[in-house]
Structure 1
Amino acid sequence: MFKNKNILIIIILVLVIIIISGIFFYQKNSQPINHSNNKQNAIQEQIKVFKPQANDLINNILVIDGEAKGNWFFEATAPFYVLDSNFSTITSGFIQAKDNWMTENFVPFHQEIKIEPKTESGYLVLKNDNPSGLPEKDLFLMIPIKFDLSEMETSSENSEKMIIKVFFNNNNLDPEFSCNKVFPVEREVVKTQAIARAALEELLKGVSEEEKNQGYFTSINPDVKIQSLKIENGIAFVDFNEQLEFQVGGSC
Structure 2
Amino acid sequence: MKNSLLVKILLLVILVLVVIGGIYIYEDKYGGKDPIVKDPVIITDKSDLIRVTEPTPNSVIKSSFNIKGQARGTWFFEASFPIKLVDANGKQIGVAIAKATSDWMTESFVPFEAQMEFTVPKLAEGSAPQVATGTLIFQKDNPSGLAEYDDELRVPVKFELSAPAQQTVLLYYYSPSKDKDGTGNLMCTKQGLVPVQRKIDITKTPIQDTIKLLLKGELTTAEKAQGITTEYPLQGFELKAASLNSGVLTLTFADPYNKSGGGSCRIGILWSQISETAKQFPGVVSVKPWPEELFQP
Give the TM-score normalised by the residue count of structure 1.
0.49
Structure with the largest fraction of helix: 1
Relative contact order, higher structure (CA 8 A, sep 6+)? 1
- Flag the structure with larger Rg: 2
